[in-house]
């Protein structure tokens, strides 16, 4: 296999694949596989006909889809679904705990101590956690939640039971099954599509418990940010924890920074070093599947965009 890595080579990935007998070439060297880890603006205008598929280094491929690159490229695409389940699930658990424990509200002078002590919540208090978009990360998170004894609701498109969840609900039934209203913690792990953009808006936030917290480690535009700011300031919900925002990066003067009940991390639920460590192996597995005439293990539906 000849492979190219854009926008620039990752030394660790190159070394790993070369050790397996594969050849690193430039795009002009007619690679069989293109490993891509950049954004829409960096994607080349023309791709050699030799490229049999493009391996994206991250799970979320919505930015490339929105820019029309998936369809324009004419390529088969694979994403990194499942590659970062463990570290993203760990980050998600940390955000859940941080939001429930009121970490964002700590002040230097201790003036918030009494309020924090009064309003801190714990997962071990018979909580219900809803995971919206319960794929690989959601399944790993479910296993991490077991010691806390929570009741878990997995929400997916198919409604097929998710292993480890106490209940599985089809995305289309999320309101009729009152998932928003039953959950103490709502975790967003859904892909960003036309149907999920803005799914958490003022109406949904109003359905949630006043003591509930919202955790988003998927994509910022799943949430209508202005509605979330208002809900936090009005006490509609108890808190939020966000690894992603809309817009992103969040401007320094954005009102979300002033929401004392919103804990934020800078899109670090997963970091580039995990991509460099893991994408080589996934690329090989997809290449081997292709050689056997099978579907790529993490093939993207170009029409659906995920």
Q: Active-site residues: which are they?
A: 219, 248, 267
pLDDT at 272 over 90: no
The stretch 52-74 carries a mean pLDDT of 95
* Collapsed DSSP state (helix, strand, coil) of residue 10: coil
Rounded to 10 deg, the angle between the 136-145 and 85-100 helix axes is 50
Q: Give me the helices (H) in 208-271, please.
A: 225-234
In a domain, 168, yes or no: yes
pLDDT at 303 over 90: no
Q: pTM for the complete prediction?
A: 0.90
Is there a single domain that holds both residue 188 and residue 221? yes
26-49 pLDDT, tens per residue? 999 999 999 999 999 999 999 999
* Cis, peptide link before residue 71, omega less than 30° from 0: no
In a domain, 306, yes or no: no
Is there a single domain that holds both residue 25 and residue 38? yes
Is there a single domain that holds both residue 74 and residue 159? no
**Domain boundaries, position 20:** 2-81+271-292
In a domain, 298, yes or no: no
Is there a single domain that holds both residue 183 and residue 197? yes
Is there a single domain that holds both residue 169 and residue 287? no
In a domain, 297, yes or no: no
In a domain, 174, yes or no: yes
Is there a single domain that holds both residue 58 and residue 142? no
* Confidence class for position 79, pLDDT limits 50, 70, 90: very high
- Which domain CATH number covers 73? 3.40.50
What is the chain's mean pLDDT, rounded?
A: 96
Structure tokens at 120: 């801190």
Domain count, the chain: 2
pLDDT at 181 over 90: yes
Q: Judge whether 244 and 267 are in contact, CB under 8 Å.
A: yes
Is there a single domain that holds both residue 77 and residue 162? no
In a domain, 302, yes or no: no
In a domain, 114, yes or no: yes
């Amino acid at each position: 296999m000849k492979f190219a890595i854009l926008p620039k080579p990752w030394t660790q990935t190159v070394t790993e694949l070369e050790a397996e007998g594969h050849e690193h070439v430039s795009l002009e060297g007619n690679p069989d596989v293109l490993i891509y880890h950049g954004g829409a603006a960096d994607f080349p205008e023309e791709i050699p006909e030799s490229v049999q598929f493009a391996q994206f280094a991250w799970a979320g491929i919505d930015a490339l889809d929105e820019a029309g690159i998936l369809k324009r490229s004419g390529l088969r695409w694979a994403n990194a679904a499942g590659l970062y389940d463990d570290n993203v699930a760990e980050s998600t658990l940390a955000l859940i705990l941080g939001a429930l424990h009121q970490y964002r509200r700590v002040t230097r002078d201790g003036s918030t101590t009494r309020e924090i002590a009064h309003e801190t919540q714990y997962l071990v208090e018979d909580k219900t956690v809803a995971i919206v978009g319960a794929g690989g990360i959601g399944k790993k998170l479910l296993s991490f939640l077991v010691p806390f004894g929570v009741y878990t609701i997995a929400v997916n498109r198919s409604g097929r039971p998710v292993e480890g969840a106490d209940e599985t609900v089809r995305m289309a039934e999320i309101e009729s099954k009152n998932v928003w209203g039953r959950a103490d913690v709502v975790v967003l792990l859904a892909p960003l599509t036309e149907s999920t953009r803005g799914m958490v808006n003022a109406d949904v936030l109003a359905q949630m418990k006043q003591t509930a917290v919202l955790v988003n480690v998927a994509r910022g535009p799943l949430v209508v940010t202005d509605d979330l700011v208002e809900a936090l300031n009005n006490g509609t919900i108890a808190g939020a924890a966000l690894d992603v925002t809309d817009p992103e990066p969040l401007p320094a003067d954005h009102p979300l920074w002033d929401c004392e009940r919103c804990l934020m991390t800078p899109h670090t639920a997963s970091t580039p070093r995990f991509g460099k460590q893991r994408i080589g192996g996934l690329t090989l597995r997809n290449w081997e599947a292709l050689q056997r005439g099978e579907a790529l293990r993490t093939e993207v539906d170009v029409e659906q965009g995920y």
